[in-house]
Amino acid sequence: MITRYLLVLLVVFGNLGAARAAGPDCSRPFTLALHDHGLLYSATTDTGIDKDVADELIRRSGCKVVVSLMARARIWQLIESGALDFSLSGISNAERDRFAAFAWYFSNKYYLLMRKDTGAASLADFERNEKLQLGVIRGFRYSDKANRLVDTLQAGNRVSQASGLAPLYQALMLNHIQGMIIEPFDYPTLDEKKIRDQTAIIEFNDPPVPHGLIMSKKALPPAEQERWRVLLNDMRADGTMRRIFEKYFKLELATALVDFPTAP
């Protein structure tokens, strides 16, 4: 009986040890940066989807993670250098794939928000009118058609960059820019009557773009990247991610954002 009891204990503790070994290596503190962007994170209230995701990842990993607030452009610079381990809600492209790995947790479309008094009825109308200026957040990339519009207008000196959404909305209302690119996390601001009355939304008609946990390849070896990816995938599988998004969106939109095919 005692022998059987000891065997059970060995199996239990062996399994616990294996589970612990399969988790992230917490032998050093990590760094994670949030960026101020609508419902993803508000520095004013210290709340948002990305903060909730970060808190849950930290809880599940058991690791010490130092969380800070940075501009998006600065985040990408530090991820590339290896001076920052993680950020959230990032999208990939060929350049970023050289230095960053990703774990996907939502997918969304992009839209052009433009002033009604531009007279533009389509993306092509906006692009053709050389008097119209587009505002973007420095360090941001979007979907394929949105990126093409940004790059085309940038070549014509028709793009203004800002550090965040607030100055872009202000510039739009002052008519310093006539359009800006938005996503669902920006919807609450659009409910303000002044903005709603003066603007219209045009969809880029691109497929939804996957967003995910950003991991610095220089700071984290592939095996560790995979361990963090497993934690995030578990959050998707057990419904935690959906519950986080349902705090901020109606059920239908929350479901559309978090239920998507596995990205490459």
pLDDT in tens, 39-51: 999 999 999 999 9
pLDDT at position 143 over 50? yes
Give the pLDDT band (50/70/90) at residue 110. Answer: very high
pLDDT at 108: 95
CATH of 111-203, one of 3.40.50.2300, 3.40.190.10, 3.20.20.10, 2.120.10.30: 3.40.190.10
What is the rounded CA–CA span in Å between residue 183 and residue 179?
13
What is the rounded CA–CA span in Å between residue 98 and residue 113?
32
Give the pLDDT band (50/70/90) at residue 17. Answer: very low
pLDDT at 111: 96
pLDDT at 264: 45
41 in Cβ contact with 34 (< 8 Å): yes
Where along the chain do the CATH 3.40.190.10 domains lie? 29-108+210-258, 111-203
Mean pLDDT of the chain: 90
Neighbours of 227 (CB within 10 A): 16
Q: What angle do CA 52, 56, 59 make, to 5 degrees?
A: 140
What is the rounded CA–CA span in Å between residue 252 and residue 260?
13
Q: What totals of helices (H) and strands (E) does the chain contain, helices first?
A: 11, 10
Q: Of 159, 160, 164, 137, which Cα lies nearest the Cα of 41?
A: 164
| CATH of span 29-108+210-258 | 3.40.190.10
> Which strand (E) or helix (H) includes residue 99?
none
pLDDT at 22: 77
pLDDT at 14: 42
Beta bridge partners of 107: 210
Give the pLDDT band (50/70/90) at residue 1. Answer: very low
What is the rounded CA–CA span in Å between residue 198 and residue 117?
8
% of the chain residues with pLDDT over 90: 83
What three-state secondary structure class fits 43? coil
pLDDT at position 201 over 50? yes
Q: Of 92, 158, 96, which Cα lies nearest the Cα of 126?
A: 158
Exposure string of 232-243, with b = 16+ CB inside 10 Å and e = fewer, is bbebbeeeebbe
pLDDT at 61: 98
Give the pLDDT band (50/70/90) at residue 66. Answer: very high
